[in-house]
């Protein structure tokens, strides 16, 4: 479809996407919204429309991420994670991704095409993590706090197996038969 015709197309006919991204932890916390604004500006400049977003917030990464920067590999254990949902013409996606990939403050990103169900039920990562911290508690157990019945059963089973194999009667029986 020519670009002139595409201007009149309703946004309902565009495809829905989610662009998740990690901003480098070296970016000052006050500057992170500027990075998100640059991403949304690139989407809008390529004819997309923003439908939803979750502001980037600092998270610990599950594993160390290596990114080549300034001639050497830098390792990062944390980043600011956020996402933007938008509708855009599929032909404009390479241009949007080029802007994101060339942005010096983005550690990594992922673009996903959304299903209708995913569009209707966005997953809010930071809210879910906050709720999980309230509901889940971790404890450091000492030896006295461990459930003794479970530990004793395992130890007793191992001890019985070891004792019967090494009894003198069992050795004598084997030698008599042989």
Longest dimension (CA), the chain: 100
Structural tokens at position 109 = 């990103």
Three-class SS of residue 27? coil
How far, in whole angstroms, is CA 43 from its chain's centroid? 23
More confident position, 22 or 156 = 22
101 inside domain: yes
d(C-alpha 44, C-alpha 82), whole Å: 18
Structural domain total, the chain = 2
Q: Is 135 helix (H, G, I), strand (E, B) or coil?
A: helix
Q: Is the pLDDT of residue 88 over 60?
A: yes
Are 72 and 19 found together in one domain?
A: yes
pLDDT in tens, 110-124: 999 988 877 776 666
Greater pLDDT, 41 or 155: 41
Same domain, 114 and 159: no
From 101, 115, 126, select the one nearest 39 (Cα to Cα). Answer: 101
The answer, yes or no, to whether residue 103 has pLDDT greater than 70, is yes
Regarding whether 147 and 116 lie in a shared domain, the answer is no
Q: In Å, how far are 35, 39, 93, 96, 136 from 31, measured between CA atoms?
A: 7, 13, 25, 21, 32
134, part of any domain: no
**Same domain for 149 and 83:** no
**36 and 95, same domain (yes or no):** yes
Q: What is the CATH number of the domain that holds 25?
A: 3.30.70.60
Question: What pLDDT does 13 receive?
Answer: 73
Concatenated DSSP letters for 155-175? Answer: HHHHHHHHHHHT-HHHHHHHH
| Closest-CA residue to 12 (of 119, 112, 87) | 87
- 130, part of any domain: no
Query: Domain limits at 52?
Result: 3-123
* Co-location of 114 and 45 in the same domain: yes
What's the pLDDT tens digit per position in 48-81?
999 988 889 999 998 999 998 888 999 999 999 9
Task: Judge whether 58 lies within some domain.
Answer: yes
Q: Indicate the pLDDT class of residue 155, thresholds 50, 70 and 90.
A: very low
Domain match, 39 and 112 both: yes
> Do 29 and 74 reside in the same domain of the chain?
yes
Q: Residue 136 has what pLDDT?
A: 38
148 and 94 in one domain? no
Integer angstrom CA distances of residue 137 from 61, 112, 126, 131, 143: 20, 33, 18, 11, 19
Question: How would residue 142 be classed by pLDDT, with cut points 50, 70 and 90?
Answer: low
């Amino acid at each position: 479809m020519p670009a002139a015709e595409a201007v009149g197309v309703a946004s309902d006919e565009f495809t829905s996407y989610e662009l998740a991204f990690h901003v480098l932890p070296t970016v000052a916390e006050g500057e992170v919204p500027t990075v998100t604004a640059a991403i949304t500006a690139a989407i809008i400049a390529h004819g997309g429309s923003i439908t939803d977003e979750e502001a980037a917030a600092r998270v610990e990464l599950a594993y160390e991420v290596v990114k080549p920067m300034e001639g050497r590999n830098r390792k990062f254990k944390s980043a600011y994670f956020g996402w933007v949902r938008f509708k855009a013409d599929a032909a404009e996606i390479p241009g949007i991704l080029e802007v994101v990939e060339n942005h010096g403050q983005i550690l990594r990103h992922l673009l996903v095409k959304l299903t209708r169900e995913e569009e209707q039920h966005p997953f809010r990562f930071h809210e879910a993590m906050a709720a999980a911290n309230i509901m889940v508690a971790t404890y450091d157990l000492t030896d006295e706090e461990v459930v003794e019945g479970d530990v004793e059963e395992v130890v007793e089973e191992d001890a019985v197996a070891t004792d019967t194999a090494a009894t003198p009667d069992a050795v004598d029986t084997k030698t008599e038969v042989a």
